[in-house]
């Protein structure tokens, strides 16, 4: 009994599967959690640093593009080439406008300075003063100017006032971007353009890259000078902070260091901006104490869950033994009855728990099987009837086609080729419209159908109708929804042909515009009033939202809805009145549709 009883097996199995995993997890988790948490923190930090690098690079490139944009101003370049000859009011106004544009384009730009290389002249402006033309030049910036001139990118970013998190001074300029402005296409330097940058943007970007209570973040220049620091006690002294020297002197632009010097014991992650964006270094430090604190917490949680789990297992085992196994035996007996072919099985009420629901669902399943068996016989009979109806429905179109062909043959025998031509066109139209096997057709096929329709109209109206069709060879094989031209053309005969002036004219053109197929249909009717156009567009929107609207403009509405179904927002249907009189309908369809979309999978 001990070996065959489900109750005893469940007790032993649940005890083993609970105690062993939880006990083992308490021991193993602490041993391996440290490394996994460290790897996770390092991976997340490196991803965060990379994102920070991208954001900083984008910000620096924006500042760099501001100075590069000056090369697009020929008047400013002429002034830079001959500053001494541009003292008229117009030239000075242009220069002031350029400097003020630079100053107020970026929110973080506090000042703009242009220092001429060959002349002792300088132009400067800040947000607290106007543009000033000065004869004095600040020689202390010459080292930065020379660095910008020697740079392959003609740019040098000079750190001005390092920012530490607890002593943020937003009124100070954190960096100055220097650009050597050259006499393009020559390589001669005309002047040096300097942008004084406030710390707001850089501080905000830096704060998003670390957790203040458990992590440290530093922003360094390629030489190791501090731009931003999250810790007041860490300076950019490379003698005291050897980790800075290690990163600066290293050849790798990104990496991870395990560091146990400079009063720090933990992991350092770093990444570096491209040289074209200043080559700044983003460094993040996390101490082992903060890393392993999570491991201790996980171990405590595991112990707590182990005790709780063991208690629950004992209770669950008793419940399983006395509550679950009994109903299972009843279910087993009923299943055996079903296997013998007895579908009229009855179940006692097991309650409202999962076992009771299982018994109820099993009984429903048996009843549904009986229903499906009966339904299958009925469906088979109905299927045979439907097949007969389909065969009957196919007889009438074939009979009609054959009748038209017979009439055409009689017309030829009686030497009435015009009647034969008309019947042939009518037959083509009927075959094209009644063919339900294709929803999308080549444009050339749609054009042939439209030609047949217009020929019938031409025969009807004679000299009172003129039409022309122009199709670019490159778009003849483009796939379009079937029968999207005929409703628009027919709309002209319904609403515009009888009230025209002179001979009725209609023109159809299909051209390629970039990656779009442009279909234009123009007529010489009286057009549509603007109020009526608005109503038509409202009807379009109501049809696209499956709302009920007036039963007008059914053809246009049908075309609009089908375009939305096939192309979603990629297609356009434009209606407009022509200046010379008449109405114009333009459809723009993408030549290549995305996926295999059709009317059944758009909503």
pLDDT (tens digit per residue) in 331-375 = 777 777 777 777 677 766 666 767 777 777 877 787 787 777 766
Residues 496 and 583: beta-carbon distance below 8 Å? yes
> 512: which strand partners?
517
Residues 217 and 248 in one domain: yes
Tally of domains in the chain: 3
Tokens of 411: 């017309």
pLDDT at 517 over 90: yes
CA atoms within 13 A on the CB side of 72: 5
The answer to whether position 284 is within a domain reads: yes
pLDDT at site 200: 87
Instruction: Name the pTM for this structure.
Output: 0.47
Q: Is the pLDDT of residue 313 over 80?
A: no
The runs of H, that is alpha helices, within 69-112 are 74-81, 89-105
Using alpha carbons only, what angle is made at residue 23 by residues 19 and 24, rounded to the nearest 5 degrees?
A: 120
Residue 297 has pLDDT above 70, yes or no: yes
Identify the domain boundary among 293, 312, 331: 312
Residues 584 and 460 in one domain: yes
- CATH code of residue 499: 3.30.565.10
User: Could you read off the pLDDT of 168-205 as tens digits, one per residue?
Assistant: 777 778 889 999 999 888 888 999 999 999 888 888 89
CB 190 within 8 A of CB 83: no
- The alpha-carbon radius of gyration of the chain (Å, integer) is 41
Question: Alpha-carbon torsion 61, 57, 55, 171, what sign?
Answer: negative
- How confident is the model over 459-483, as a mean pLDDT? 89
**199-257 confidence digits (pLDDT tens):** 888 888 988 888 888 888 999 998 888 888 887 677 666 667 788 888 888 888 888 88
Domain ranges, residue 120: 1-312
271 and 284 within one domain: yes
pLDDT score recorded for residue 165: 74
In which residue are the tokens 């079937």 written?
482
Mean pLDDT, residues 140-167 taken together: 85
Give strand pairing partners of 467.
506
Query: Are residues 289 and 406 both part of a single domain?
Result: no
334, part of any domain: no
Say which CATH number the domain at 72 has: 3.30.450.20
Say whether both 428 and 450 belong to one domain: no
**Does the residue 322 lie in any domain?**
no
Shared-domain flag, residues 514 and 581: yes
Reply yes or no on whether the pLDDT at 131 is more than 70: yes
Q: What is the pLDDT of residues 574-590, one digit of tens each?
A: 999 888 888 899 999 99
Higher-pLDDT residue of 325 and 449 is 449
Q: List, for residues 271-286, the tens digit of each pLDDT value.
A: 999 988 889 999 999 8
- For residue 441, pLDDT beyond 70: yes
Cα separation, 585 vs 508, whole angstroms: 10
pLDDT higher than threshold 60 for residue 401: no
Answer whether residue 341 is part of any domain: no
- How confident is the model at residue 507, as a pLDDT? 94
What confidence category does residue 112 fall into, taking pLDDT thresholds of 50, 70 and 90? very high
In this predicted structure, what is the pLDDT of residue 502? 79
DSSP class of 157 = E
Average pLDDT across the chain, whole number: 79
Contact of 165 with 230, CB cutoff 8 Å? yes
> Could you please report the per-residue DSSP string of 535-579?
HHHHHHHHHHTT----S--HHHHHHHHHHHHHHGGG-EEEEEE-T
Q: What is the dihedral of CA 365, 370, 373, 378, to 10 degrees?
A: -120
pLDDT tier at 551, thresholds 50, 70, 90:
very low
**What digits encode the pLDDT tens for the residues 475-497?**
999 999 888 898 888 888 887 77
Helix (H) or strand (E) holding 4: none
* Residue 595 within any structural domain of the chain: no
DSSP H or E stretch at residue 123: strand 122-126
Q: DSSP string of 24-76? A: HHHHHHHHHHHHHHHHHHHHHHHHHHHHHHHHHHHHHHHHHHHHHGGGG-HHH
273: closest CA among 54, 68, 43? 54
Angle (CA) 590 591 596, round 5°: 85
Compute CA distances 93 → 68, 99, 123, 133, 525, whole Å: 20, 10, 13, 12, 56
| Residue 327 placed within a domain | no
Verify that 22 and 88 share a domain, yes or no.
yes
Q: Within a domain: residue 319?
A: no
Q: Average of pLDDT values for 451-466?
A: 85
Burial letters for 183-220: b for 16+ Cβ neighbours within 10 Å, e otherwise? Answer: eeeeeebbbbbbbbbbbebbbebbeebbeeeebbbbbb
pLDDT at 130: 85
User: Three-state SS across 204-246?
Assistant: HHHHCCCCCCCCEEEEECCCCCEEEECCCCCCCCCCCCHHHHH
Q: What is the pLDDT of residue 392?
A: 45
In whole angstroms, give the CA distance from residue 288 to residue 212: 16
Closest by alpha carbon to 281, among 229, 237, 324, 318? 229
Final residue belonging to a domain, choices 405, 437, 469: 437
Task: Say if residues 141 and 178 touch (Cβ distance below 8 Å).
Answer: yes
pLDDT reading at 468 higher than 90? yes
In sign, the C-alpha dihedral spanning 520, 524, 529, 532 is negative
Q: Is the pLDDT of residue 102 over 50?
A: yes
Q: What's the helix, strand, coil split of the chain in %, to 5?
A: 55, 20, 25
* 432 class by beta-carbon count within 10 Å (0-12 exposed, 13-18 middle, 19+ buried): buried
Q: Are residues 307 and 371 in the same domain?
A: no
In a domain, 340, yes or no: no
- The share of the chain scoring above pLDDT 70, in percent, equals 77
Buried b (16+ CB within 10 A) or exposed e, 112-125: bbbbbeeeebbbbb
Q: Are residues 302 and 174 in the same domain?
A: yes
- The verdict on 259 and 224 lying in the same domain is yes
Same domain, 70 and 204: yes
pLDDT at 2: 46
Same domain, 26 and 110: yes
Whether residue 534 is predicted with pLDDT greater than 90 in this model: the reply is no
Query: Do 193 and 181 meet the contact criterion of CB atoms below 8 Å apart?
Result: yes
pLDDT at 423 (0 to 100): 72
Q: Using the 3D structure, point to which of 312, 335, 367 is the last residue of a domain.
A: 312
Best-predicted range by mean pLDDT among 37-41, 211-215, 289-293, 495-499?
Answer: 211-215
Coil, strand, or helix at residue 589?
A: strand
Query: How do strand 132-134 and strand 226-229 relate by DSSP bridges?
Result: unpaired
The token duo for 273 is 């901006």
The answer to whether the CB of 115 falls within 8 A of the CB of 137 is yes
Given a contact cutoff of 8 angstroms between Cβ atoms, the answer to whether 362 and 331 are in contact is yes
Task: Supply the pLDDT for residue 282.
Answer: 93
Asked if 102 contacts 66 with a C-beta cutoff of 8 angstroms, the reply is yes
Judge whether residue 391 has pLDDT over 50: no
H or E, element range at 131: none
């Amino acid at each position: 009994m001990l070996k065959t009883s489900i109750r005893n097996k469940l007790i032993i199995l649940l005890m083993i599967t609970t105690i062993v995993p939880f006990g083992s997890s308490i021991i193993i988790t602490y041993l391996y959690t440290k490394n996994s948490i460290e790897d996770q923190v390092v991976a997340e930090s490196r991803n965060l640093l990379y994102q920070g690098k991208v954001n900083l690079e984008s910000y620096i490139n924006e500042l760099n593009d501001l100075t590069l944009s000056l090369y697009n101003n020929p008047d400013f370049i002429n002034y830079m080439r001959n500053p001494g000859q541009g003292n008229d009011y117009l030239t000075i106004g242009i220069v002031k406008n350029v400097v003020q544009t630079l100053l107020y384009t970026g929110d973080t730009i506090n000042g703009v300075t242009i220092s001429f290389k060959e002349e002792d002249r300088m132009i400067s402006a800040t947000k607290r003063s106007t543009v000033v033309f000065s004869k004095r030049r600040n020689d202390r910036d010459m080292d930065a100017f020379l660095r910008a001139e020697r740079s392959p990118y003609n740019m040098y970013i000079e750190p001005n006032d390092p920012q530490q998190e607890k002593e943020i001074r937003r009124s100070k300029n954190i960096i100055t971007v220097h650009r050597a402005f050259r006499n393009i296409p020559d390589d001669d330097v005309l002047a040096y353009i300097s942008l004084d940058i406030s710390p707001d943007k850089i501080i905000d970007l830096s704060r998003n890259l670390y957790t203040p209570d458990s992590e440290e973040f530093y922003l360094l220049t390629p030489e190791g000078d501090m731009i931003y620091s999250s810790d007041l006690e860490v300076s950019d002294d490379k003698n005291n902070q050897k980790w800075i020297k290690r990163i600066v002197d290293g050849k790798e632009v990104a990496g991870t260091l395990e560091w146990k010097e400079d009063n720090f014991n933990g992991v350092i992650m770093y990444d570096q901006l491209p040289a074209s964006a200043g080559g700044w270094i983003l460094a993040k430090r996390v101490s082992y104490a903060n890393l392993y604190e999570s491991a201790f917490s996980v171990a405590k949680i595991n112990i707590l869950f182990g005790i709780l789990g063991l208690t629950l297992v004992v209770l669950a085992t008793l419940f399983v033994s006395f509550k679950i196994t009994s109903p299972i035996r009843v279910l087993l007996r009923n299943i055996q009855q079903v296997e013998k072919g007895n579908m009229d099985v009855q179940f006692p009420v097991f309650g409202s728990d999962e076992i009771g629901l299982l018994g109820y669902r099993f009984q429903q399943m048996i009843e549904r099987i009986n229903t499906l068996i009966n339904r299958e016989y009925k469906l088979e009979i109905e299927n045979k009837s439907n097949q007969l109806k389909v065969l009957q429905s196919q007889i009438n179109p074939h009979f009609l086609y054959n009748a038209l062909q017979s009439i055409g043959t009689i017309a030829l025998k009686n030497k009435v080729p015009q009647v034969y031509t008309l019947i042939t066109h009518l037959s083509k139209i009927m075959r094209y419209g009644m063919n339900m096997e294709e929803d999308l057709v080549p444009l050339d096929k749609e054009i042939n159908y439209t030609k047949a329709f217009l020929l019938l109209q031409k025969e009807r109206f004679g000299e009172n109708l003129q039409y022309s069709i122009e199709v670019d060879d490159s778009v003849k094989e483009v796939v379009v929804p079937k029968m999207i031209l005929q409703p628009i053309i027919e709309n002209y005969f319904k609403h515009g042909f009888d009230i025209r002036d002179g001979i009725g004219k209609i023109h159809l053109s299909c051209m390629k515009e970039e990656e779009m197929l442009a279909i234009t249909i123009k007529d010489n009717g009286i057009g549509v009033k603007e109020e009526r156009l608005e109503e038509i567009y409202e009807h379009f929107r109501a049809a696209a939202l499956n709302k009920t609207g007036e039963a007008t403009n059914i053809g246009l509405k049908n075309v609009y809805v089908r375009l939305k179904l096939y192309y979603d927002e990629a297609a356009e249907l434009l209606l407009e009145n022509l200046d010379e009189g008449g109405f114009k309908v333009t459809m723009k369809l993408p030549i290549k549709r995305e996926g295999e979309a059709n009317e059944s999978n758009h909503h």
